[in-house]
Amino acid sequence: MNLQFAHPDYLWFLLILVPCIAWYIYSSRNRYASMGISSTASFKGRPRTFKQYLLHFLFALRMIAIAVLIIIIARPQDSQHTVETKTSGTDIVISLDISSSMLAGDFDPNRLEAAKRVASGFISGRKNDNIGLVIFAGESFTAVPMTTDHAQLINYLNEVEVGILEDNTAIGDGIATAINRLKDSEAKSKSIILLTDGSHNAGQLPPMDAAEIAQRKGIKIYTIGVGKNGNAPFPEYDAFGGVHYINLPVVIDEKTLEQIAQLTGGKYFRAVNEHVLADVFKEIDRLETSETSVQKTTLVEETYLIWAILAMCLLAFELLFRSLVLRHIP
């Protein structure tokens, strides 16, 4: 119990008890009637009764009751319920490859849908972050600007499909567009999560040039290469719009992705299945934290009722004691 008072200045009234006690001691000498006798020899050696020890007990009870009443006026409170909330937040842009190779069937049902599921879980867990979404294929596009409305962000992410942008893989442009979302950010930590399954073959800006820009602006890039080792089933469309899958080698430019991450202070990950991809996002979630504020909330509970009950008990005890135990002749 951490006792505190809403009006601690009222506790100065406790000093009133000092002159009251002094006056009681001074006046008690002549308070009771006296009787003259010729000799006190017959009273010598007689033991004191317990009532003699309790002569001043009533006064002590009254003083304690007055002290408790003053404490009640000062409004005692229990502030033991203290909650310290540390809020962590950072600015993050997810740059997602939506080229046709993301439909490869080495993930269930394909790489893009698996990436969307895992990214949605990651976004849901970052409650205090500003998060944006960039999509890229042969060109890049800001799908969702920086926002804390994660429900809206997840809804849009779930609607992203292959084919809404010109095909190919413009990794450099995907990074550059994400940088534009973060360049004016005042957050202490700014990062890009780049998720791709291929190598750069389109766009206006080479990936390493984009990484250098990010490095100068203090933006970390976490790169994720998506796709299992060896061959994977890639979709192929015939002249009638039908789809069939053919096994083709998985080609991911891991060297460039590693260099991008190393240059910007991020980290490169290889995700060969959805479980590994989920672990990758958990690792990024652990790495990418920044304490932004500390909010201290004190929940105060009024405790005057306990003191009021104590005061009433003291006064009632004094009354009973005076009436039943220490009665005296008027």
Give the CATH number of the domain where residue 121 resides: 3.40.50.410
pTM score = 0.63
106, 206: one domain: yes
Q: Which amino acid is at 99?
A: S
139 occurs within a structural domain: yes
CA 128 to mean position of chain CA atoms? 9
pLDDT at 78: 74
Q: Give the total residue count for the chain.
A: 330
Q: Rounded CA gap, 222 and 135, in Å?
A: 16
Say what the pLDDT of residue 304 is.
76
Q: Is 151 in the same domain as 226? A: yes
Given a cut of 70, the residues of the chain with pLDDT beneath it are 1, 29-55, 79-89, 289-301, 325-330
Contact, 220 vs 265, CB < 8 A? Answer: yes
pLDDT for position 261: 96
Q: Note whether 110 and 216 are same-domain residues.
A: yes
**Burial bucket for residue 250 (CB in 10 Å: 0-12, 13-18, 19+):** buried
**246, 233 in Cβ contact below 8 A?**
yes
Q: What is the pLDDT of residue 59?
A: 81
Specify if 262 maps to a domain. yes
Same-domain pairing of 262 and 330: no
Pairing of strands 219-226, 268-271: parallel
Contact 200, 172 (CB under 8 A): yes
- Residue 295 has a pLDDT of 47
Residue 80 belongs to domain spanning: 1-22+50-84+296-330
Number of domains in the chain: 2
